[in-house]
């Protein structure tokens, strides 16, 4: 999915991490799926701070599934830097 606005992600900023000589902003994005109204499903989106034109955000699948928005945000905020780096590494070529 290509981002066209100046805002890298519509999600909530979780953290900034470094990996492989770059700084990355990590966002929590919620899936909007009316079929799953009893669960809040969220994924992580990674945007390099020095993002080049045409460079897409890297997104995981939905990895956080909680019964409320607040619990999903809480769970995401509990992820440690080394865990976020591991998710990022899994998305890189």
Task: Please give the chain's pLDDT, 93 residues, in tens.
Answer: 444 455 688 899 999 999 988 999 999 999 986 666 788 999 999 999 888 888 889 999 999 999 999 999 999 999 999 999 999 999 998
The candidate with the shortest Cα–Cα distance to 37, out of 61, 69, 7, is 69
- Give the span between the Cα atoms of 66 and 32, in whole angstroms: 14
pLDDT score at 34? 61
């Amino acid at each position: 999915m290509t981002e066209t606005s100046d805002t890298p992600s519509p999600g909530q900023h979780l953290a900034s991490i470094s990996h492989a000589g770059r700084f990355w902003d990590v966002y929590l994005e919620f899936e909007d799926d009316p079929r799953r109204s009893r669960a809040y499903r969220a994924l992580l989106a990674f945007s390099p701070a020095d993002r080049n034109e045409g460079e897409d955000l890297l997104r995981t699948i939905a990895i956080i599934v909680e019964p409320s928005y607040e619990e999903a945000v809480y769970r995401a905020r509990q992820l440690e830097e080394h865990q976020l780096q591991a998710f990022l590494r899994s998305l890189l070529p």
